[in-house]
Structures are given as structure tokens and as C-alpha cells.
């Protein structure tokens, strides 16, 4: 569900109370781990860009919270850890906020912070 919010604070204010803490935690992790990235709203959701290219995003959907992992090299490097999760082509879907694996998210963000081509598998 796309938001019309102009910034991430406005976006988070629209997230239902039952999911707001989880969405806020995702934002905190992104801001902590993605140094040098710019936080923007893109396609109606918070997005984290490096040099104008979106690499991470998250969104509150009707049935779940989506965490978009846009770099294929990071997805490939974490294939084993991602295997047991509900995944789309480029996103993790968390149907219950209390089941979000924030340790996995943090590790994915740390890997994303490494410039493309610098990941060690």
C-alpha cells in the first residue's frame, strides 16, 4: 500500500499501531547501519539510497511488513539464511511484526553497506 507521506516520519505516523514499533525499529536499523545512505520516500515507502540508487526499502502492506533487499549480490550471499523465510523476488515478507528477525535484518544491512563487489562469501 503506497503512502502519500512526504517523509518517513509522516509514513510511520500512518502505520497501524500494532506494526508501528516494528517499522520504527526497521528505520532505526537502516539509519544506524547504512551510513552514507540517504533516507527518502520512493514509491510510497521509505527507501535508502546510495549515490541516488535505492538499495533497501521497507513497507507496511495489508498482510505483512515488506523488507526490500534490492542488491542481488547481498541476497546471494545470504541465500542459506534467507531460505526459510517468506521471500518474494526482492523482498522478505514478515506476516507478524513480533516474528521479524532483526538480527538477520541487521546483518543484511551491514552487508548492503559494503559497496557492491566488496562482499566476501
Residues 20 and 26: their CA atoms lie apart, in Å, by: 10
Phi, psi of 40 (to 5 degrees): -140, 170
Cβ(37)–Cβ(55) below 8 Å: yes
Query: 96 pairs with which residues across the strands?
Result: none
Residues 82 and 35: their CA atoms lie apart, in Å, by: 24
Q: Which residues of 43-76 are buried (b: 16+ CB within 10 A; e: fewer)?
A: eebbbbbbeeebbbbbbbeeebbbbbbbbeebbe
User: Residue-wise pLDDT tens for the chain (121 aa)?
Assistant: 678 889 999 999 999 999 999 999 999 999 999 999 999 999 999 999 999 999 999 999 999 999 999 999 999 999 999 998 999 888 999 999 999 999 999 999 999 999 876 655 5
* pLDDT number for residue 118: 61
Beta strand residue intervals within 1-121, DSSP E: 38-42, 45-50, 53-60, 65-69, 91-94
* Ordered domains of the chain (ranges, CATH): 8-113 (3.90.1150.200)
Neighbours of 6 (CB within 10 A): 9
> Can you give the pTM of this predicted structure?
0.92
Amino acid at each position: 500500500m503506497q503512502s502519500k507521506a512526504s517523509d518517513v516520519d509522516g509514513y510511520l505516523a500512518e502505520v497501524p499501531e500494532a506494526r508501528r514499533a516494528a517499522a520504527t525499529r526497521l528505520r532505526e536499523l537502516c539509519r544506524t547501519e547504512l551510513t552514507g545512505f540517504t533516507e527518502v520516500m520512493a514509491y510510497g515507502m521509505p527507501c535508502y539510497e546510495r549515490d541516488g540508487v535505492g538499495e533497501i526499502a521497507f513497507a507496511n502492506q495489508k498482510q505483512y511488513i515488506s523488507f526490500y533487499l534490492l542488491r542481488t549480490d547481498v541476497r546471494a550471499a545470504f541465500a542459506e539464511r534467507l531460505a526459510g523465510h517468506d521471500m518474494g523476488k526482492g523482498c522478505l515478507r514478515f506476516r507478524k511484526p513480533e516474528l521479524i528477525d532483526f538480527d538477520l535484518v541487521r546483518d543484511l544491512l551491514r552487508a548492503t553497506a559494503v559497496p557492491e563487489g566488496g562482499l566476501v562469501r
